[in-house]
Amino acid sequence: MNAVEPNPVIKELKEGKPYPGISSSPSLVLIKKTLIFDLCTIKRIILSIFLMVFVPTLILAFTPSGVLSGDEHVIQLLGFTTWYYNFAIMFPIIIIGATGPLISEELRTGTLLFLVSKPIDRTRIVLSKFIALYIFGTLINLLSLSLISLFSVIKYPQFVDIGQYFALFFLYSLIITFFFGGITMGFSSIFRRPRNVLLLPLALVIFSFLVMMMFKPLLLFGENWYEKYLLYNLDIGYHFANIFLWISEAFVSEQNLLNYFGQIFWMFGIYKIDWEGGSTDPKRTYYYDPIVSVLYLTVISVVFIVIGALYLKKRDIS
């Protein structure tokens, strides 16, 4: 009979042997174990990067070279696809799927019972796993955006804004990782089954970026119920779009942003149009300052992490 492979975190914590070049602190050992053994598996990395680059690569491959000429902009060609497909739908799903089992799976397998017997309290367990998740999300974005940028340069050497494209979406991805990783980590600390952990964050993605996008035009026309009833206060998609516009303005002029993302900004409440007045000129709504939107999403994420950590501290995991 084959010997059962020992759990790496139990082995390292039990023997007290540090990883090469890293302190033997239980928190650091747990971060490295989570990152290497739970998150950065070859299968997960390959699948995540494939899902992130698939659609942008198709667009690059099937856009005729004759359509582009002169000083072309990759943000114009791939901007909407990257914002919506990559960072409104696909990347949140990747982060949610990676985060869901981090605590709940430890509860199911009994590993967490061993961890809490060591000199690392439950709050540090949650924070250590969240740090590992954040590193994982950053790595996936670095690799996927690098591949998309490389394919862009190979197919269209005339692109003049590859650096802006990479920096814009990488900075934006840091907000996405923190928010969806935080709320999912909170649920993972509360629910025992990974399936239950994934349900609510995925529902939030579907509601914020699919359902709201389909029905938002009905709210914006006529009396503009979206503004009249202050629905932007509860619209996560609005706050993400507000942050995206704020980051984008550091790299792209406002007029170009309207040319590239005008419809999406309107549908997410960043700009409004006075249809009844006969004007089609978009005007900024300024419902929230972008900094406040960052704080808004950060506070939500932190609250879920704290609630999850407090719940785990009081939980009977025997």
Count of domains forming the chain: 1
Residue 9 lies in a domain: no
Among positive and negative, which fits the CA dihedral 131, 235, 173, 254? negative
Q: Report pLDDT for 13.
A: 47
Give the pLDDT of residue 214.
Answer: 80
pLDDT at 47: 96
Total-model pTM: 0.86
- As given in the structure block, the two tokens for residue 226 are 């979206």
* Residues of the chain below pLDDT 50: 1-5, 10, 13-14, 16-23, 113
Q: Calculate the dihedral angle through the C-alpha atoms of 185, 190, 194, 198, rounding to the nearest 10 degrees.
A: -60
Residue 8 lies in a domain: no
Domain range for 218 is: 22-314
**Residue 11 in domain:** no
Residue 194 lies in a domain: yes
Residue 253 lies in a domain: yes
Residue 71: its pLDDT value, please?
Answer: 64
Beta carbons of 80 and 261 less than 8 angstroms apart: yes
Residue type, position 83, single letter: W
Q: How close are the terminal C-alpha atoms of the chain, in Å?
A: 29
Note the pLDDT of residue 107. Answer: 65
The confidence score (pLDDT) of residue 302 equals 97
Spatial contact of 60 and 152, defined as CB atoms under 8 Å apart: yes
pLDDT value of residue 111: 61
Say if 289 falls within a structural domain: yes
The per-residue pLDDT for 2 is 45
Closest CA relative to residue 125, chosen from 34, 193, 38, 44: 34
- Return all residues near 197 (Cβ < 8 A) that are at least 6 apart: 99, 100, 101, 104, 184, 187, 188, 190, 191
| Amino acid sitting at position 16 | G
pLDDT digits (tens, 9 = 90+) for 130-165: 999 999 999 999 999 999 999 999 988 888 899 999
* Assigned domain for 6 exists: no
217 close to 267: Cβ distance less than 8 angstroms: yes
> Does residue 13 form part of some domain?
no
Query: Can you give the pLDDT at residue 110?
Result: 57
pLDDT at residue number 316: 64
pLDDT score of 135: 97
pLDDT, residue 236, reads 93
